[in-house]
Structure 1
Amino acid sequence: MQEWLYPMGVVLLGYTVLGLTGFGSALVVVPLLAWNWPLPAVVALTLLMDVPASAFHSGLNWRQVQWRELRRLLPGMVMGTLVGLWLVQHMNSRWPLLLLGVYVAGVGINALRPKTSQAATAAPVWAWPVGAAIGLVEMVFGTAGPLVVAWLSRRLSDVQQMRASTPLIIAVAATTVLLGMAWEGRLSSGWIWQRWTVLIGVALAGVWLGHRVAHRVPVARLRQIICALLVLSGLMLALGALR
Structure 2
Amino acid sequence: MDFGLIAILLVMGMAGGFAAGLLGIGGGMVLVPFITMIFTARGFPPDLIVHMAIATSLATIMFTSLSSVRAHHKHGAVLWPVVRMLVPGIVIGSWIGPWIAKQLNTSALALVFGLFVAFSATQMLLNKKPKATRELPKKPGMLAAGGVIGVVAGLVGAGGGFISVPFMTWCNVKIHNAVATSAALGFPIALAGTLSNVYYGWGEANLPAYSLGYIYVPALVVIAAASVTMAPVGARTAHRMPVAALKRILAVILYALAAYMLWKAAA
Which category of TM-score, normalised to the shorter sequence, fits these structures? Answer: 0.7 to 0.9
| Deviation readout 1:101-125 (Å, 9 max, x if unpaired) | 45323321221x6x59748334334
Q: For 2:69 and 2:233, how far apart are their aligned partners in 1?
A: 14
Q: Does 1:48 align with 2:68?
A: no
Change (3 A) 1:107 1:89: same
Partner of residue 181, structure 2: 165
1:43 maps to amino acid? I
Distance 1:226 1:120, change over 3 A: farther
Q: Answer yes or no: is 1:28 the counterpart of 2:27.
A: no
Once the two structures are overlaid, the 10-residue window that deviates more, 146-155 or 91-100, is 91-100
Corresponding residue for 2:210? 190
Q: Retained in 1: the 8 A contact 2:115–2:258?
A: no
Whether 1:64 and 2:88 are equivalent positions in the alignment is: no
User: In the aligned structure 1, how far is the partner of 2:30 from the partner of 2:154?
Assistant: 18
Q: Which moved more, 1:213-222 or 1:163-172?
A: 213-222
Query: Does 1:174 pair with 2:187?
Result: no
Please show how residues 220-239 of structure 1 align to structure 2 within 5 Å.
220-229=244-253
Equivalent residue in structure 1 for 2:153, among 124, 127, 138: 138
CA deviation profile, 1:161-192 (whole Å, cap 9, x unmatched): 11211111122111111111233354996353
Deviations 1:52-72 (A, max 9, x none): 111111111112111222222
Tell me, what secondary structure is at the counterpart of 1:123?
Answer: coil
**Offset at residue 236 of structure 1 (A):** 5.8
In structure 2, how many angstroms separate the alpha carbons of the residues matched to 1:217 and 1:203?
21
Match of 1:211 in 2: 235
- 1:232 deviation in Å? 5.2
Q: Describe the SS at the equivalent of 2:25.
A: coil
The range that moved more, 197-206 or 212-221, is 212-221
Mapped contact 2:99–2:200 kept (Cα < 8 A): no
Q: Which residue of 1 aligns with 2:142?
A: 127
Q: What is the rounded CA distance, in whole Å, between the counterparts of 1:169 and 1:138 in structure 2?
A: 11
Post-superposition CA distance 1:17-61 (Å, at most 9, x none): 112111161122121122222434333322221111111111111
SS in structure 2 opposite 1:34? helix
Q: Counterpart of 2:66 in structure 1: which amino acid? A: A
CA distance 1:152–1:239, shift in 2 (3 Å): farther
Q: TM-score, normalization: structure 2?
A: 0.74
Distance 1:35 1:72 in 2: 37
More displaced stretch, 3-12 vs 228-237? 228-237
Distance 1:238 1:156 in 2: 32
Rounded Cα–Cα distance in structure 2 between residues aligned with 1:234 and 1:148: 18
Q: Is the 8 A contact 2:91 2:192 kept in 1?
A: yes
What is the aligned partner in structure 1 of residue 21 from structure 2? 19
Q: Quick check: 1:81 aligned with 2:94?
A: yes
**Deviations 1:183-236 (Å, cap 9, x if unpaired)?**
335499635333333332211122133233333323443344345545556666
Q: Aligned AA for 1:121?
A: E
**Which residue is 1:147 aligned to?**
163
Task: Give the number of equivalent residue pairs.
Answer: 241
The reply on whether 1:9 has 2:11 as its aligned counterpart is yes
For residue 98 of structure 1, report the CA deviation from its aligned partner. Answer: 5.9
2: CA distance, partners of 1:241 / 1:118: 40
Q: Distance in 2 between matches of 1:239 and 1:134?
A: 25
Contact 2:35 2:53 in 1 (8 A): yes
Q: TM-score scaled to structure 1, two decimals?
A: 0.81
